[in-house]
Amino acid sequence: MRWKVYFMEALLLCLLTAGLASGARGQPLKQAPTESQRPNLLLKLTTTQKTIQIFGQRIVYYEAGRGKTLVLLANLGWDSHMWAQNLPALARNYHVIAVDLIGTGGSAKPHIDYKMDTWTDFIAEFLRVKGIRRATIMGAVMGGALAVQFALDHPEMSEGLVCAASNSGPGHDAAKQSAGGGWPSLAGVKRGLMAALHDKSLVTAELVRSRFEYRLRADDGYTIERHLSDHRAPYSVQELSGIRVPALFVWCRQDQITPLKWGEDFAAAVPGANLAVIDGCGHLPNLEKPGEFNQAIINFLEKSSGAPDGKIVNAPDR
């Protein structure tokens, strides 16, 4: 009988320990992220690289999935590999295309003035050549501004827009600031990354060296210089009020380059737009918090078949 008593006592102790570890309401305590859960800013797309001729220029893109089309546009100074932590998750239920725009990444880089409508015309022609009638355009920083511009320039082809941490919102002007580019040196790249990322431990020597090597071989300095030399003025509330497609703005609460207030103002100016706020990240939400970012996009796309509701949503922790 004594062994039964010991067994029952041990079982009770285990149950009490489990109950204490779960908290008063039975909710598990948040665990520190494991190394596998940490964002991998060095990750590259494994999707096969494709090329297409648009206006006689070679354009590089990556394509996966089936369903409604979602086009991904990277920040200036980056390329489509910026979406390596996002494209696979989004492609489970959607037709996702990450494009290196003319003048960026692996695409052709003619010496022209790179205006916003230069790029939106290329996006529209890309969709026409691919036989895609309408698409949701999603971008980070400058890519986010292009998602907005595309909805204004080509409303007949815009099915929706997702804008993450753009510096072109109403009443604000940060055109000269860049995320992760910075002065062309190891120290300059590190300063840029430290400013862009909330979790400074992500700025490793390996990441800094990788970004510096990319900046040297990208050959996009002319594109960046020409675009920023004549950067358009911030969007006015009047301009943004003309957007008639579902819109999502994604912002990090700790963004020090384009503060959350900028995202709030941006979303408030677009009729029915939603704002997803992610905690614990800086200026590059898709890189620093890919899980939360991906879920915010999926939630938006699932609901965007109806009218946008104009809500502010805190992205769930993962």
Question: pLDDT tens digits, residue range 153-178?
Answer: 999 999 999 999 998 888 776 544 44
Q: Lowest-confidence range among 6-15, 16-25, 215-224?
A: 16-25
At 101, list the tokens.
């725009």
Residue 35: inside a domain, yes or no?
no
pLDDT of residue 174: 54
d(CA 244, CA 104): 29
- Number of domains, the chain: 1
CB count within 10 Å of CB 126 equals 21
Residue 190 lies in a domain: no
Tens of pLDDT along 227-281? 988 778 899 999 999 999 999 999 999 999 999 999 999 999 999 999 999 999 9
pLDDT at 6: 35
| Choice between 150 and 18, residue whose per-residue pLDDT is larger | 150
Q: Who wins on pLDDT, 98 or 15? A: 98
Predicted TM-score (pTM) of this structure: 0.85
Q: Whole-angstrom Cα distance, residue 288 to residue 283?
A: 9
pLDDT at 74 over 70: yes
Q: If you search the block for the tokens 């614990």, which residue do you land on? A: 280
Is there a domain that residue 194 lies in?
no
Sequence-distant (≥ 6) Cβ neighbours of residue 238 within 8 angstroms: none
Q: Does residue 31 lie in a domain region?
A: no
Q: What is the largest distance, in Å, between two alpha-carbon atoms of the chain?
A: 89
**255: CATH:** 3.40.50.1820
- 185 assigned to some structural domain: no
Q: What are phi and psi of 191, to 5 degrees?
A: -60, -40
In a domain, 246, yes or no: yes
In a domain, 22, yes or no: no
Enclosing domain of residue 118: 49-173+222-313
Q: How many Cα atoms sit within 13 Å of 62 on the Cβ side?
A: 23
Are the C-beta atoms of 134 and 69 separated by less than 8 Å?
Answer: yes
Q: Is residue 33 part of a domain?
A: no
